[in-house]
Chain A
Amino acid sequence: MRCLTDSSKITTDIDSLRSEIRDKSVRVIDVRREDDYKQDHIPTAVNLPLATLLSDDSPENVLKLMNTMGIDSETSVVVYDDTFGALASRVAWTFEYLGHSDVTLLETTYSNWKSLELESDSKIPEIQHKEHTLNLQPNILATADYLQSAKERNDVILIDNRERLNFLEQHIPGAISLPYRTLATKDKILRPKDDMKRLLENRGITENSEIITYCGSVGTLSGLAYYALKSAGLPNTKLYVRSFKEWKNLQKPTEKQEDASYWDLSAE
């Protein structure tokens, strides 16, 4: 029953997904590359490689993609990938932005699904075309212009989800560093809620703030962070989806950690 859908639900656990697949009450989306998908995937899953989405992620085009995947406004969607949830997050966020609220992330990666010896197959499902309505949610999107003015406000926290060394080298002024690896545990794409909450509280990231996340280029790592924050009960979160790549191209100001040769400490 739609009305009972818990809007705060971020991930779907393995057992729930398996029973939803049996009930045929879910549209599963595999965000890996087409070749990988063709080899095997979670039963009934359709393939939406992230590159396909990114080649044109205008609302009109994404809506078309959703229609061909048989998703209308009522469809329950679960997304997974094999890249610690970051690619799945970017897809889920895009659906949400278009006005599809019933979308969650599989709690684990496909590799882990396989290592648990859960079912998979190589069948490509037949999909019945559906019509999704467009209901844009601009409140979850941050553009460069929005970010520029918002970050001057005291109640806005800007979070950089790239690795620490990249952050030290260059970041958007005023951002704080929360590397994407911090968001996960060994076998789950997101930390348990209380764990995540404690970590964020230590960093002064609380529900009183508006939060904007960004990463290197296309909003994947920061997409995962977007869901990590929501899972910790911080709904007032926006994704700067064009991220640092656009910021630099627009020649907006950046900041760096001065007077230290930190790169030489890396063993890479």
Chain B
Amino acid sequence: MTVSNLKQSRPDTAKPKINWSRVEEADNFAKTVKLFRQGKYDEASFRRFRLQHGAYGTRMTGDYAMVRIKIPAGEIYPNQLEKISQLSEQFSIGSAHFSTRENIQLHWVVLEDVSEIFRGLAEVGLTSREACGNTIRNVMCSPLSGVCPDEEFDSTPYALATARFFLRNPMVQNLPRKFKFNFTCCEKHGMVRMVDVGLIPQTREVDGNTQRGFKIFLGGGLGNKSFVGYQLEEFTPEEDLVYTSMAVLRIFDRLGDRKNMARNRMRYLVNDMGWEKFQNLVLKERAIVRATQSVITQLEVVHTPNEIKRPIRITDESGTSITDGYARWLKTNTVKQKQSNYRSIFITLEAGDITASQLNALADLIRDFSSEGKARFGFVQNVALRYVHEDDLPRLYSNLLESGLAKSGALTMTAPIGCSGTTSCNLALTNSHRLAKEIQRKLLELKFDEDDDLSDSSIKISGCPNSCGQHGIATIGFFGGGGRVGKDMYANYQMSLGGRSDGDTMLGLTCLRVPAKRVIPVILKIIELFKQNKKSDDTLQSWIHRVVNNNEDSEIKSINDIKKVLEPLTIPPTKEEDPDFYLDYGDDTSYHTKTGKGECAA
């Protein structure tokens, strides 16, 4: 018997409810590429067009593109994963890459093949439209929205409705710069102060009725210069969500800086104008928007509850033995839901990379184990299967093991973020991507995922000062650059400490520069310092938080004290002593910085 013969037919599986695609955009893209190649379309206009459709440039070449597929609110269905798997083998490198904003990217795609990817995506209702360029990027939602024990209500329908309202909306096709929405479930799981518009669901009692609304934060963002967002008002009722969003976008569109590409995210406008003035403008503009709509504009928020149906077991596998590593995985990769007997389980991928066959395996696992029949992308290049019945966890774990998706530590510091770096990005100075993988392997080997003191900390790495790797909000953050000894260059990282994105959001403080090949020893040294000086109930995060705020009373009192201890580790050896020091990870030729033109601001 062949494998396909043994496959049992599955019960009806969940299908996507929203079609985000337009197949005619594939034809149009193919035509435009031809015109561009024939010289009938100038470079700048073509680049704008390409980015608007979600195709980003590639390191040092005009022949390839990266296609960024948006997964609105992070909701993805099995048939969509299977299609992406197929497309990755046909047109990319046989792997796909999870971003930190609930996109999935296909790299090293021949520009002329991009339209074929659009065609494939349209078959399963997905789009990359407005995934790049000066428009509204993917609308994110917490992977725990709907199951988080601390949430007021599920914000997923609002995130989807917002994405639907603005996708292809003429009012956002040419903003001064990109614009991002993040919805979350609660303070702890969100990233609401580090984005243009961040939203936390909340409720209030009005005349004995419960009213739904949001806490809205504006003007935050990570980048070359990062800012923490401000709360607009005490409570924004749900019917004002769309008016508030429109008002903010209209102000940004009108007043945002269209000249200085390096300073034109909305956070600069808020910063230059001052919060109070900006806040006033938004509130006034909202009144105008509300009053001048010719018809009542409302979001189409679909409240039909998801069908929760535990997949039927066709075969009896009650004898599944509990494997080694199960307890470790259960502790570091799963969370209890507010719905009793169910857990959400997280899959961590090295720096967000997943193979074509793992994407197929993931689709099968969703069908076999998730009672909601779909999965959710997370904020840290990961993916969650929710509504997994607790009785099914051991079997799920052994299935994950078979597909190489059972790596532990998904919800701990051992799962670092690494942007794509020099593996494909034009702006990258270092191979941040590989470094993240190296760190993860080392920390798991040391079983740091099992250490409760380390679980609420994070490591995040960007390959350049721009913040795709979100280093600014990491407990230990790194961004890439070049170092030099005489004529010889080496990959070097600026390290910051103490960043966080929860209710106490702050940006990490600069500590010192760490050569790429010394990053792992430096991380281990910081952990050692913490263990020596911690108080009994400290976590690494709380300890570093005290140190960077100068509230620590042990021998390490400030970030400068940490720096002094680490400095000896960062002294470059000569090339004769240690030639490997002068090679970046994944490269066997001498390191030199080399970048092309960035397109974030194009």
Of A112, A179, A259, the contact of B59 (CB 8 Å cutoff): A259
Residues of A within 8 A of B594 (CB): 259
Of B4, B97, B355, the contact of A111 (CB 8 Å cutoff): B4
Report Cα–Cα, A198/B349, bound state, in Å.
35
The reply on B341 being an interface residue by CB < 8 A is no
Fill in one digit per residue for A243-268: 1 if any B CB lies within 8 Å of its CB, else 0: 00000000000000111111111111
The reply on B549 being an interface residue by CB < 8 A is no
**Cβ–Cβ contact A260 & B422, under 8 A:** yes
The reply on A66 being an interface residue by CB < 8 A is no
Minimum CB–CB distance for B510 against chain A, Å:
27
| Segment with Cβ contacts to B, from A96-104, A160-168, A211-219 | A160-168
Residues of A within 8 A of B584 (CB): 261
Report Cα–Cα, A258/B60, bound state, in Å.
8
**Cβ–Cβ contact B586 & A268, under 8 A:** no
Q: In this complex, what residue of A is CB-closest to B86?
A: A186
Minimum CB–CB distance for B500 against chain A, Å:
28
| Segment with Cβ contacts to A, from B88-96, B138-146, B182-190, B211-219 | B88-96
| Segment with Cβ contacts to B, from A21-29, A50-58, A199-207 | A199-207
Q: Taking A163-B94, A267-B350 as contacts, is the C-beta distance between A261 and B108 under 8 angstroms? A: no
**Cβ–Cβ contact B113 & A202, under 8 A:** yes
Residues of B within 8 A of A115 (CB): 2, 4-5
Q: Taking A168-B108, A203-B113 as contacts, is the C-beta distance between A179 and B2 under 8 angstroms? A: no
**Cβ–Cβ contact A262 & B94, under 8 A:** no
Report Cα–Cα, A81/B538, bound state, in Å.
62
Residues of B within 8 A of A261 (CB): 421-423, 431, 433-434, 584-587
Chain B 91-118 residues near chain A, CB threshold 8 A: 91-95, 97, 107-108, 110, 112-113, 115-116
The reply on B199 being an interface residue by CB < 8 A is no
Q: In this complex, what residue of B is CB-closest to A181?
A: B89
**Cβ–Cβ contact A177 & B110, under 8 A:** yes
**Cβ–Cβ contact B90 & A111, under 8 A:** no
**Cβ–Cβ contact A260 & B423, under 8 A:** yes
**Cβ–Cβ contact B90 & A182, under 8 A:** yes
Q: In this complex, what residue of B is CB-closest to A186?
A: B86
For chain A, the bracket of interface size reads 20 to 34
Q: In this complex, what residue of B is CB-closest to A265?
A: B423
Report Cα–Cα, A45/B300, bound state, in Å.
60
Report Cα–Cα, A202/B30, bound state, in Å.
7
Minimum CB–CB distance for A114 against chain B, Å:
5
Of A112, A199, A257, A266, the contact of B353 (CB 8 Å cutoff): A266
Residues of B within 8 A of A117 (CB): 5
Q: In this complex, what residue of A is CB-closest to B92?
A: A164
**Cβ–Cβ contact A265 & B97, under 8 A:** yes
Report Cα–Cα, A257/B60, bound state, in Å.
9
Minimum CB–CB distance for A161 against chain B, Å:
12
Report Cα–Cα, A264/B594, bound state, in Å.
18
**Cβ–Cβ contact A164 & B112, under 8 A:** no
Residues of B within 8 A of A165 (CB): 93-94, 108
For chain B, the bracket of interface size reads 35 or more
Report Cα–Cα, A176/B63, bound state, in Å.
10
**Cβ–Cβ contact B113 & A267, under 8 A:** no
The reply on B61 being an interface residue by CB < 8 A is yes
The reply on B358 being an interface residue by CB < 8 A is yes
The reply on B519 being an interface residue by CB < 8 A is no
**Cβ–Cβ contact A114 & B2, under 8 A:** yes
Report Cα–Cα, A268/B354, bound state, in Å.
8
Report Cα–Cα, A66/B146, bound state, in Å.
66
Residues of A within 8 A of B59 (CB): 259-260
Residues of A within 8 A of B107 (CB): 262, 265
Residues of A within 8 A of B97 (CB): 265
Q: In this complex, what residue of B is CB-closest to A202?
A: B112
Chain B 419-473 residues near chain A, CB threshold 8 A: 420-424, 431, 433-434, 437
Minimum CB–CB distance for B30 against chain A, Å:
5
Q: Taking A179-B90, A182-B91, A260-B422 as contacts, is the C-beta distance between A265 and B4 under 8 angstroms? A: no
Residues of A within 8 A of B58 (CB): 260
Report Cα–Cα, A184/B354, bound state, in Å.
22
The reply on B33 being an interface residue by CB < 8 A is yes
Report Cα–Cα, A111/B7, bound state, in Å.
13
Minimum CB–CB distance for B210 against chain A, Å:
45
Residues of A within 8 A of B2 (CB): 111, 114-115
Fill in one digit per residue for B4-32: 1 if any A CB lies within 8 Å of its CB, else 0: 11000000000000000000000000100
**Cβ–Cβ contact B116 & A267, under 8 A:** no
Report Cα–Cα, A2/B587, bound state, in Å.
59
Residues of A within 8 A of B587 (CB): 261
**Cβ–Cβ contact B586 & A267, under 8 A:** no
**Cβ–Cβ contact A112 & B110, under 8 A:** no
Fill in one digit per residue for A5-25: 1 if any B CB lies within 8 Å of its CB, else 0: 000000000000000000000
The reply on B3 being an interface residue by CB < 8 A is yes
**Cβ–Cβ contact B586 & A202, under 8 A:** no
Q: Taking A114-B4, A261-B431, A261-B434 as contacts, is the C-beta distance between A181 and B108 under 8 angstroms? A: no
Report Cα–Cα, A177/B64, bound state, in Å.
11
Fill in one digit per residue for A183-212: 1 if any B CB lies within 8 Å of its CB, else 0: 000100000000000110011100000000
Minimum CB–CB distance for A173 against chain B, Å:
14
Chain B 331-379 residues near chain A, CB threshold 8 A: 349-350, 353-355, 358
**Cβ–Cβ contact B89 & A267, under 8 A:** no
Q: In this complex, what residue of A is CB-closest to B438?
A: A264
Q: Taking A165-B94, A261-B423, A264-B437 as contacts, is the C-beta distance between A203 and B110 under 8 angstroms? A: yes
Report Cα–Cα, A258/B86, bound state, in Å.
27
Residues of B within 8 A of A267 (CB): 95, 349-350, 353-355, 358
Residues of B within 8 A of A186 (CB): 86
Query: Which residue, A114, A168, A266, has most C-beta atoms of chain B within 10 A?
Result: A266
Of B1, B91, B424, B434, the contact of A260 (CB 8 Å cutoff): B424
Fill in one digit per residue for B67-86: 1 if any A CB lies within 8 Å of its CB, else 0: 00000000000000000001
Report Cα–Cα, A266/B424, bound state, in Å.
11
**Cβ–Cβ contact B95 & A268, under 8 A:** yes
Residues of A within 8 A of B420 (CB): 265
Q: Taking A257-B61, A258-B60 as contacts, is the C-beta distance between A265 and B93 under 8 angstroms? A: yes
Report Cα–Cα, A238/B60, bound state, in Å.
32
Q: Taking A265-B353, A265-B420 as contacts, is the C-beta distance between A259 and B60 under 8 angstroms? A: yes
5 examples of A-B residue contacts, CB within 8 angstroms: A115-B4, A164-B108, A179-B90, A202-B33, A202-B112
Known pairs A203-B113, A265-B97 / 7 extra A-B pairs, C-beta < 8 Å: A111-B2, A111-B3, A112-B4, A117-B5, A202-B113, A260-B59, A264-B431
Listed in ascending order, the chain A residues whose CB lies under 8 Å from chain B are: 111-112, 114-115, 117, 163-165, 168, 176-177, 179, 181-182, 186, 198-199, 202-204, 257-268
Listed in ascending order, the chain B residues whose CB lies under 8 Å from chain A are: 1-5, 30, 33-34, 37, 58-61, 86, 89-95, 97, 107-108, 110, 112-113, 115-116, 349-350, 353-355, 358, 420-424, 431, 433-434, 437, 584-587, 594
Top-5 shortest CB links A-B: A267-B353, A115-B4, A265-B423, A264-B434, A181-B89
